[in-house]
Structure 1
Amino acid sequence: MNVYEYLLSYQIKPSVQRIAIMDYLLKHHTHPSIDEIYMALCQDIPTLSKTTVYNTLKLFVEHGAARMLTIDERNACFDGDISVHAHFQCKVCGRITDIPLSAEEPDEIKHMKKEGFQIEETHRYYKGICPECLKMNKN
């Protein structure tokens, strides 16, 4: 499925800016911030503004086509991978890495559902030091 069709599948009307922003999210699994996306695309789309990037990402999140991560209290970043997974942020280099989760629901989710809660989304964040930064600190 191309980006145009992907956006349509989430009931988002494709535009040049929306296609470019979603394409960037889907191709760059770096969990970019608004500024990073803007800087990456503004050369190719001179009419692009940070406000457009912000509003587009907000639209993507509202329609379920992307996720906003608030693992870092200072910056929101975005993920085009909407599959169920966790995130790990390195306290040294700041990089955010995807962590696969098992298909089985955690006990706390099962308990909440049993109690009648309707869970619509979850966020699982871990923080620590990544293997690369640990290697650098040992040298």
Structure 2
Amino acid sequence: MNAYEYLLSYNIKPSVQRIAIMDYLLKHHTHPCIDEIYLALCKDIPTLSKTTVYNTLKLFIEHGAARMLTIDERNACFDGDTSMHAHFQCKACGKIYDIPMEPESEEIESLSKNGFQIEETHHYYKGICPECREKKHEN
């Protein structure tokens, strides 16, 4: 599915900026922050502003087309993958990885049985990624 169709599937009216930002999120699984998205797109879209990127991402989140991650205390990061998954941030290089997650945990089942309606979950792990661990052992 391309960015245009993806936006329509979430009832978001496509515009040049919205398509470009969603396309970036769907193609770059790096969990970018607003500055990264802006810098990547401003050359091709000279009228783009950081405010537009911020407002567009906010719209995507409100419609469920993207997720905001707060795993990095310094920057909010954004993810175009809205499927159920966890995140791991390396404390050495700062990279954020997608981690598979079981959709139905005992916690979720227990909450549901007690009348809670879960609309989103955020599972964050922090540590050292395999690449950084390997580099550390080489030194």
TM range (shorter): over 0.9
| Alignment map for 1:20-59 (pairs within 5 Å) | 20-59=20-59
State the shift of 1:2 in Å. Answer: 2.0
Establish whether residue 125 from structure 1 lines up as the match of residue 118 from structure 2: no
1:86-114 CA-partner distances (Å, limit 9, x unpaired): 000000000000001124x1111111111
TM-score by length of 1: 0.97
**Percent of paired sites with the same residue:** 80
> Which whole-Å CA distance do the structure 1 matches of 2:5 and 2:112 have between them?
34
> Which whole-Å CA distance do the structure 2 matches of 1:47 and 1:31 have between them?
24
> Which whole-Å CA distance do the structure 2 matches of 1:131 and 1:5 have between them?
36
- What secondary structure is seen at the aligned counterpart in 1 of 2:44? coil
TM-score by length of 2: 0.97
Query: Aligned AA for 1:30?
Result: T
- What secondary structure is seen at the aligned counterpart in 2 of 1:78? strand
After superposing on structure 2, the runs of 4+ consecutive aligned residues of structure 1 that deviate more than 3 Å are none
Unaligned runs of 5+ in 2: none
